[in-house]
Chains A and B, each alone.
Chain A
Amino acid sequence: MSVYALQKLLRDVNRIPERREAYFKSPAAFAQGYDLTEREREVLLGFDVRALYDMGVHGLILRQFTILHKMSDPDYVKVLRGE
């Protein structure tokens, strides 16, 4: 259940200020603290929102994570729908 670790990482960024700060300081270093597959790591570090969604990240976790990245609602919807 590798998406488990990916969702755990994203959720930690969403809800724990210190983790959020560490992630935005160095996403690559931060990701090393989680048991991600190579593909998950690539998608996370590339901020590939559509791929994160397709991998099974829950929408509420993903939307909050993208809000922290200043992604607007219309842009988020476009990315998810491939528009």
Chain B
Amino acid sequence: MPISFACAASHAPGITAWAEAAPPTQKERVYGAFGELRARLDASGAEVLILLTSEHWANFFLDHMGAFCVGRAETYTGPIEPWLKIERTQVRGDAALATEILETAYERGIEPSFAYELQFDHGTMVPLSLINPKMDLPVVPVLFNTLAVPQPTARRCLELGRVIGEIAARSPRRIGLIATGGLSHDPGERNHGVIDSGFDEKFLTAMAAGDGDRLGRYSRADFAAAGSGAFELLSWVALAGALGGRKGELVAYEAVKPWATGVGLMAFPAAA
């Protein structure tokens, strides 16, 4: 079945934790865009969500860091941050779909790690609470190492995304995909608060065009130049791989200084 719903969205913790710090017009546009994605998800009839999201030290540390991790739990809990202003919630998992992702990836020569227990932090809970606030759909999280060097390459993320796209296409169920992270930002680092809107515009243009070749050529240096948090865009690249050239519609882009992030939201409607 064609992928019924797909979107990509930033997940800066300030979106919920210090929402009012943003200029009102920017906050309204971002929240309006999340509302737009919510409406599209509701209309899609999606039965399960695959979340392409960032590891932020919530689950993994330097004692064992893999490139990708697929969650096989029956339930997840989050957020871990007591200050995020999102109520701690349980979210149902889908272990069978997670296993299918793993087995198919292994067949295609990609070996993500897996976990029967994962905690969700702002990287998952901010977009999930705004796009599916009812938390009524089961989820399969796919965590990307976007913080410890070396991060996976964009090319590899594109390949992993193609595996996910293949699974969604052959599934009898309606599968929705949410990629989250980015855009340019340098969270907690020296350039915290610096936003490279030029980088963001080029990246969003490639995503909107479904230009997998261009996205797969983004190098570690390219992401690093836009701030350490720009590596989170590897999940967007994977989404482009899953969607196989499907075009995106930019729902909103705002360089929100008080949230220290170039905030982008994009929808990828199925072809009419």
Contact residues in B for A11 (Cβ distance below 8 Å): 57, 61
How far is the CB of A51 from the nearest CB of chain B, in Å? 14
Q: CB of A45 within 8 A of chain B?
A: no
Chain A: residues with CB nearer than 8 A to chain B?
4, 7-8, 11, 14-15, 17, 53, 58-64, 67-68, 73, 76-77, 80-81
Contact A58 B61 (CB under 8 A): no
Query: What would 14 A/B residue contacts be, using CB atoms closer than 8 Å?
Result: A15-B58, A17-B82, A58-B57, A58-B147, A58-B148, A59-B188, A60-B228, A61-B57, A62-B188, A63-B188, A67-B83, A73-B260, A76-B192, A80-B192
Q: Does B28 contact A (CB under 8 A)?
A: no
CB–CB B57/A73 < 8 A: no
Q: Which residue of B is nearest A10, CB measured?
A: B57
From DSSP, what is the main secondary structure of chain A's interface residues? helix
Asked if B57 and A80 make an inter-chain contact with CB atoms under 8 angstroms apart, the answer reads no
Q: Report the Cα distance A7→B115, complex, angstroms.
A: 23
A55 CB → nearest B CB, Å: 14
CB A75 to nearest CB in B, in angstroms, measures: 11
Chain B contacts for A76, CB-based, 8 A: 188, 192
**B120 to A: closest C-beta gap in Å:** 11
Bound form: Cα–Cα A15–B186 in Å:
21
A4, A17, A63, A68: the one within 8 Å of B192 (CB): A63
Which of A17, A59, A68 interacts with B187 by CB under 8 Å? A59
| Distance between A24 CB and nearest chain B CB, rounded to angstroms | 12
Check A14–B57 contact: CB distance below 8 A: yes
Tell me the minimal C-beta distance from B12 to chain A in angstroms. Answer: 11
Complex: chain B residue closest to A4, CB-CB: B62
Chain A residue with the shortest CB-CB distance to B18: A73
Residues in A neighbouring B119, C-beta threshold 8 A: 15
Give A57's nearest chain B residue, CB to CB. Answer: B188
